[in-house]
Amino acid sequence: MKQIRIKSGRPESYLTAGKWYDVIREDGLTWITNDIGNETGCRLRECGHLRGGDWEVREVKEESMKEHKISDEKLREIYNHTDICDEWKDRIKEAVPTFEVEEWVDITKKMKMESPPGYARVTIPNYPDGSQDLDGHIAFVIPDGTTWKSNALEFKVENGKLYRRVK
């Protein structure tokens, strides 16, 4: 299986720098599914989707996931990353039959928390678009033992760390 990722250029908004895209087919162009779910035909050199940039290509053996040694902690971090799709989660479970998903995942680092003892201090963007304007952040402190639900997500604070429930 071939994969490509951005090597140079300024990608369009429907592509993510650093992300490996599975090649669907090749017929003069290299076809991938972009970040919004559309098939995109790419030229490996001087691609229009990268505003003249180039793609990096790699070959991935299907067996490589089974042979690769990775710690359970790192595997859980990858599995629970927001950019991992259900197909890759299934591939991880298939490749590592002993892999078990923890019910509560530590998301402290992702929320850029600075915690006083017994509390979790969380800073989140104040803008729905996720902008990083320093004046546009809300900071709040959550005491240990607090749990709450937000839509389909469930959170808790324990020992100054923020956790999200994974099902």
The predicted-structure confidence for 74-87, as pLDDT tens digits, reads as follows: 777 777 777 788 78
Rounded Cα distance between 115 and 24, Å, is 45
pTM over the 0.85 mark? no
Q: Which residues neighbour 161 within 8 Å (Cβ) at sequence distance 6 or greater?
A: 106, 108, 113, 115, 120
Rounded Cα distance between 130 and 94, Å, is 34
The predicted-structure confidence for 89-116, as pLDDT tens digits, reads as follows: 777 777 776 666 667 777 766 655 555 5
The predicted-structure confidence for 1-48, as pLDDT tens digits, reads as follows: 899 999 999 999 999 988 889 999 999 999 999 988 899 999 999 999
Rounded Cα distance between 114 and 12, Å, is 34
Decide if pLDDT at 69 tops 80: no
Q: Are 138 and 123 in contact (CB under 8 A)?
A: yes
Rounded Cα distance between 31 and 116, Å, is 49
Each domain of the chain, given as residue ranges in start order, spans 2-59, 64-95, 104-165
- Higher-pLDDT residue of 57, 148: 57
- Mean of pLDDT values over 47-63: 88
